[in-house]
């Protein structure tokens, strides 16, 4: 596939994806703590096991350590972060200022998201901002990379402001795998592509039929020409937790046969690792899929075991 071989970044994740190697990313939730050692405890099991680690930004609209601060702690401890930025909590002044700060910290990878509704979190009376949509912030970040400029929203004198040094972000966005073409899905992904997204990380999907159809659609629609797709997966811990995730988390796809395997297993945790390992291996051979993004909020200790047991075929 024709990839963008002139990515303006030296991130290890970008290099791996651009060389057509199957990438593995994982995810941590920053601690509810002001102690940097708490961040290090979370990344130690994943260090040198994955290509980069996502650092969530106020997940489920709950208070945690700043994603940028936690990412900086990781960066200075030789672990490549993917800093998550949501549009929920900050206006465009703060968001663009954060982009400049992220660049100054030499953090290369970012995942730009809309963010969860504050009413669902631990500060339900917090005022949502949503000054920018995710694709609008992606476009601004991309312009900072390509042109070294920040757009102005001044309607009287619209212009751009130059920054002294171009940024070199590797910009990510989110998607939900689908097995059927839908105009709304295509339009949403297309606007992220046109805004400058370099890679996509998807919601959890354990349905290999959907993943294969999704990959085919991505190729047919031209999305894989200049974007890399990492499918959300991870070791499931039990049929109870898997069922809850399927029924309560938007976009999560876990078919009945996977639930049945967990339910009938003597050791559901081991079966969850086996399922994830099998699916990682299968995805590594599917054209259009560039990697996997491992998430297991209640079973994080199983992620390193899963990676070590997977036999990922090196791509040509």
Q: Give domain status of residue 288, yes or no.
A: yes
Q: Give domain status of residue 183, yes or no.
A: yes
The phi, psi pair for 8, rounded to 5°, reads: -85, 50
What's the CATH code of the domain at 28? 3.20.20.220
**Could you tell me the residue range of the domain that residue 227 belongs to?**
12-309
Domains held by the chain: number: 1
pLDDT digits (tens, 9 = 90+) for 224-233: 999 999 999 9
Q: Give domain status of residue 6, yes or no.
A: no
Q: Give domain status of residue 209, yes or no.
A: yes
> Do residues 40 and 109 make contact, with C-beta atoms less than 8 angstroms apart?
no
Q: Give domain status of residue 144, yes or no.
A: yes
Q: Give domain status of residue 4, yes or no.
A: no
279-291 average pLDDT score: 97
pLDDT digits (tens, 9 = 90+) for 42-80: 999 999 999 999 999 999 899 999 999 999 999 999 999
Q: What is the DSSP string of 179-200?
A: SS--HHHHHHHHHHHHHT--EE
Whether the per-residue pLDDT at 186 is higher than 80: the answer is yes
Q: Give domain status of residue 3, yes or no.
A: no
pLDDT digits (tens, 9 = 90+) for 92-127: 999 999 999 999 999 999 999 999 888 988 999 999
pLDDT digits (tens, 9 = 90+) for 18-41: 999 999 999 999 999 999 999 999
Q: Give domain status of residue 5, yes or no.
A: no
């Amino acid at each position: 596939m024709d990839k963008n071989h002139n990515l303006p970044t030296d991130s290890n994740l970008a290099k791996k994806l651009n060389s057509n190697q199957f990438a593995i990313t994982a995810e941590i939730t920053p601690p509810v703590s002001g102690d940097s050692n708490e961040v290090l405890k979370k990344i130690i099991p994943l260090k040198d096991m994955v290509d980069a680690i996502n650092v969530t930004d106020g997940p489920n609209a709950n208070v945690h350590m700043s994603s940028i601060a936690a990412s900086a702690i990781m960066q200075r401890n030789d672990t490549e972060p993917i800093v998550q930025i949501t549009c929920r909590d900050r206006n465009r002044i703060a968001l663009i200022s954060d982009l400049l700060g992220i660049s100054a910290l030499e953090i290369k990878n970012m995942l730009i998201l809309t963010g969860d509704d504050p009413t669902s979190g631990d500060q339900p009376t917090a005022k949502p901002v949503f000054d920018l949509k995710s694709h609008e912030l992606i476009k601004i970040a991309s312009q900072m990379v390509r042109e070294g400029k920040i757009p102005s929203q001044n309607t009287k004198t619209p212009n751009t402001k130059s920054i002294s040094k171009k940024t070199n972000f590797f910009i990510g966005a989110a998607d939900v795998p689908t097995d059927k073409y839908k105009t709304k899905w295509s339009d949403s992904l297309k606007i992220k592509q046109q805004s400058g997204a370099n890679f996509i990380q998807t919601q959890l999907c354990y349905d290999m039929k959907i993943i294969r159809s999704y990959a085919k659609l991505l190729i047919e629609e031209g999305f894989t020409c200049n974007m890399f797709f990492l499918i959300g997966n991870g070791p499931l811990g039990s049929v109870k937790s898997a069922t809850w995730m399927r029924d309560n988390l938007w976009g999560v796809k876990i078919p009945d046969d996977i639930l049945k395997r967990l339910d009938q297993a003597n050791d559901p945790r081991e079966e969850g690792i086996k399922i994830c390992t099998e699916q990682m291996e299968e995805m590594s051979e599917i054209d259009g899929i560039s990697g996997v993004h491992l998430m297991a909020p209640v079973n994080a200790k199983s992620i390193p075991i899963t990676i070590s047991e997977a036999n990922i075929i090196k791509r040509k």
